[in-house]
């Protein structure tokens, strides 16, 4: 069966769901990790928790350029909507930046710059979805993923992040680089996704 036929079957099965299931009725006061929520500035709370899961928070394109160059990550993808603000600066600094992601050349892209839907301060998670992320594979296959977000898009808690799901068919919470520990309990990063997760605040 072809890839298109498989996805057509999945899509037709999902289209039968007229309404989504209701969220669980839980006591919001019991589901927070209060120590992780200490502080008033959501960006600072996010950065603290994001750093704890090996994420890298940045506030300027110059920081990003320095990081990519120092790690020899010189060829990547940038969401066309972000090209003027970020991609053009990367290109001016000598990096190769494409605005169309060719899935047949996935191994060429060392970094991917995409828009984040938001972030969750409590868990240090970046949120991407099919509505805001121009190409999901461009966010998940390069070694470096740069999620670009605005301060107003940071949710305080996990329940706040759940409440903001919206109607996107695919929502991913990226809590630092991709991780797995299913081989003898040894934590390995970058196996099922990016080995470097960057949050760039604009």
Sign of CA dihedral 20, 7, 181, 119: negative
Residue 185, phi-psi category: left (phi > 0), alpha (psi -120 to 50), beta (remainder)? left
Task: Please state which architecture CATH assigns to domain 33-201.
Answer: 3-Layer(aba) Sandwich (3.40)
Q: Which of helix, strand or coil describes residue 196? A: strand
Per-residue confidence (pLDDT) for residue 30, from 0 to 100: 75
Distance CA 139, CA 135 (A): 7
- Where are the domains positioned within the chain? 33-201
| Residue ranges in the chain modelled with pLDDT below 50 | none
Per-residue confidence (pLDDT) for residue 18, from 0 to 100: 67
Per-residue confidence (pLDDT) for residue 167, from 0 to 100: 81
Per-residue confidence (pLDDT) for residue 17, from 0 to 100: 64
CB 58 within 8 A of CB 198: yes
Per the listing, tokens 């196996």 go with 191
Distance CA 192, CA 68 (A): 21
What pTM, to 2 d.p., does this model score? Answer: 0.86
């Amino acid at each position: 069966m072809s890839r298109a036929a498989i996805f057509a079957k999945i899509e037709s099965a999902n289209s039968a769901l007229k309404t989504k299931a209701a969220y669980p009725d839980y006591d919001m006061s019991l589901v927070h990790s209060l120590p992780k929520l200490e502080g008033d500035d959501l960006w600072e709370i996010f950065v603290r928790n994001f750093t704890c899961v090996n994420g890298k928070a940045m506030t300027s394109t110059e920081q990003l350029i320095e990081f990519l160059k120092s790690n020899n990550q010189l060829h990547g993808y940038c969401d066309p909507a972000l090209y003027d603000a970020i991609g053009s600066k990367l290109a001016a600094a000598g990096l190769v930046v494409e605005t169309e992601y060719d899935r047949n050349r996935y191994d060429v892209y060392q970094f991917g710059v995409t828009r984040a839907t938001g972030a969750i301060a409590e868990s240090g998670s970046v949120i991407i979805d099919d509505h805001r992320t121009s190409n999901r594979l461009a966010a998940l296959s390069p070694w470096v993923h740069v999620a670009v977000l605005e301060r107003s898009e940071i949710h305080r808690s996990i329940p706040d992040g759940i409440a903001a799901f919206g109607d996107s068919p695919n929502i991913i919470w990226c809590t630092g680089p991709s991780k797995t520990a299913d081989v003898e309990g040894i934590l390995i990063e970058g196996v099922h996704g990016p080995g470097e997760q960057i949050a760039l605040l604009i």
